[in-house]
Amino acid sequence: MVSRVIPVEPFDLVLFGATGDLARRKILPALFHRFQIGQFNTECRIIGSSRSELTAEEFRSQTADAIREFGQDVGTTPEEIAAFTALLDYAAVDARGDAGWEEFQAKLRDDAVRAFYLSVGPSLFTDIARRLSQTGIATPQSRIVLEKPFGHDLASAQALNAALREHFEERQIYRIDHYLGKETVQNLMALRFANSLFEPLWNSSHIDHVQITVAESIGVEGRGEYYDKSGAMRDMVQNHLMQLLCLTAMEPPAKFTPNAVRDEKVKVIEALRPVPQSDIARGQYRGTNGGKKGDSYRDHAGNAASRTESYIALKVEVANWRWAGTPFYLRTGKCLRERVSEIAVYFRDPPHNIFEGSGTVHGNVLVIRLQPDEGITLKTTIKDPGPGGMRLTGANLDMTFADELPESGRPQDAYERLIMDVIRGNQTLFMRGDEVEAAWAWADPIIAGWQETGHPPQPYDSGGSGPDDSLLLIHRDGRRWRGIGT
């Protein structure tokens, strides 16, 4: 709702990689919607940059196309798009050479917040950061924003952090994990720390286990080259699922400040036990009908011998007082039956059943749904309504945010929130350098483990629910995955 929008200070946002896919699909439409809703005005400017020689007018017109194609359907008018694109400028620069930088510098104002958004390949991060600092284009108040992947392993993440810190202080560095910008991810913190109901039960005495699922229905078409060197562990677990795990498992921070929250997340990562290979299931989609249609992962990746996983499930233990004895099962994969991301917290059964013979007591499950249909559901056991004596049945206490809070309007894309947080100078939803390194320090030995054994991922049917090994991983503990798309 417009009334809830707090305008931000005037800014110059420089978008490197302005003609790239992420800029077109996400960043520029996100900025447009924030403008449309009144969060910033015509005192703000967005300066696109890339190697391509474009005029400002061409960049405006490309951006207008991107908004029409990828923006949300909220009755956008041509006038609104024109008003937004009037804020755009463009400067071609050579990230590794001298060309264009002087003209680019001349476009920046001294009295506006300066933010440099590097929506470029990670191999350019250091060159651009160095150039910004050495030319004085970046001031001590400027912010630098980096897209994932942030490193490929611990050593590369450390090298990148060290290179950035030569030119920027940690308080200026915004490492994006777009999962942190999702509405329900923040709601998880509100649920845990703004309600007195859950936190007393939020430990291994009351919680049997937790399942974190990020299932995608799409494959890696078009991104095969990047993905084949990465796989689900690096692409999703080290960052997105790790963040969900941290927010679920962390201790209450004393304050909702960036470092208080991030300190607690780092402690969770550091408490993770090394994961043995026996607690991991890796899979690779093989297309439909047993792989006959040419739509397998290997086809999409263009690598007929690929051993990269497009699916992974892991049993993870947080070795501390709160969580000892409560496993976290993580799974993520491509080409699964349905797109669904959720955190499901399984509470222990009541210690004693007084209703013997009246039906099953269904253990409480709190499901925090990130997408689709953001919301929270609590599975409970109730009396089956009506006559017939005491019969028990399961029922959901269901709160879908769109139903419950219709006045909050259209769902905000994660990038909208994150970019505005950069301008506001709020780092709470961005990863700190030590946090990223801790996550790699945990992930590296896991990856090295399967590289050593040489075990290929297990094939699974596209459109299904993942490889059989993943079922075994949880069944052998006497537990079951929640259905994907059932």
| Distance of alpha carbon 424 from alpha carbon 343, whole angstroms | 29
Nearer to ligand BG6, 228 or 235 (CB): 235
What lies within 8 Å, CB to CB, of 315 at 6+ separation is: 275, 279, 280, 327, 328, 329, 473, 474, 477
Total residues interacting with ligand BG6, rule: CB under 6 A? 5
- Shortest CB 80 distance to ligand BG6, Å: 25
Two structure tokens written together for 32: 């447009």
- Specify the residue, 39 or 341, whose C-beta has the smaller distance to ligand BG6: 341
Active-site annotation holds for 455: no
**Closest Cα to residue 437, out of 222, 151, 123, 168?**
151
CB of residue 341 to ligand BG6, shortest distance in Å? 6
Is 152 annotated in a binding site? The answer is no
- The residue (of 253 and 464) whose beta carbon lies closer to ligand BG6 is 464
Report how far residue 384's alpha carbon sits from residue 359's, in angstroms, rounded to the nearest whole number: 10
Q: Which CB sits closer to ligand BG6, 147 or 279?
A: 147
Q: Residue 81 corresponds to which tokens in the numbers above? A: 């798009």
Least distance (Å) between residue 282 CB and ligand BG6? 16
What is the rounded distance in angstroms from the CA atom of residue 119 to the CA atom of residue 136?
21
Residue among 235, 299, 416, 435 that touches ligand BG6 (CB under 6 A): 235
**Is residue 364 a contact partner of residue 380, using CB atoms and an 8 Å limit?**
yes
216 annotated as ligand-binding: yes
216 or 437: whose CB is closer to ligand BG6?
216
Specify which residues 431 forms β-bridges with: 175
148 is in an annotated binding site: yes
Q: How far is the CB of 447 from ligand BG6 (least distance, A)?
A: 16
Would you say 182 is a known binding-site residue?
Answer: yes
Ranked by CB distance to ligand BG6, the top (closest) residue is: 235
Site string for ligand BG6, 41-60 (x = CB under 6 A): --------------------
Q: Which residues pair with 330 in a beta bridge?
A: 212, 314
Q: Is 87 annotated as a binding residue?
A: no
Is-contact 377 398, C-beta < 8 A? Answer: yes
3 state SS of 104: helix
- Contact between 147 and ligand BG6 (CB under 6 A)? no
Q: Is 292 annotated as a binding residue?
A: no
Return phi, psi of residue 330, to 5°. -115, 140
According to CB under 6 A, which one of 89, 216, 299, 342 is a site residue for ligand BG6? 216
CB of 184 to ligand BG6, least distance (A): 12
CB of 242 to ligand BG6, least distance (A): 12
**Calpha distance 56→92 (Å, rounded):** 10
E strand segments, 290-385: 311-316, 328-333, 340-347, 365-371, 375-383
Say if residue 28 carries a ligand binding annotation.
no
Q: Calculate ∠ Cα 284-178-48, nearest 5°.
A: 115
Report 160-199 residues binding ligand BG6 (CB under 6 A). 178
DSSP 423: H
**Which residues ranging from 341 to 380 are in contact with ligand BG6 (CB under 6 A)?**
341
Q: Which of 240, 362, 455, 475 is catalytic?
A: 240
Chain contacts with ligand BG6 (rule: CB under 6 A): 148, 178, 216, 235, 341
The residues assigned a catalytic role are 240
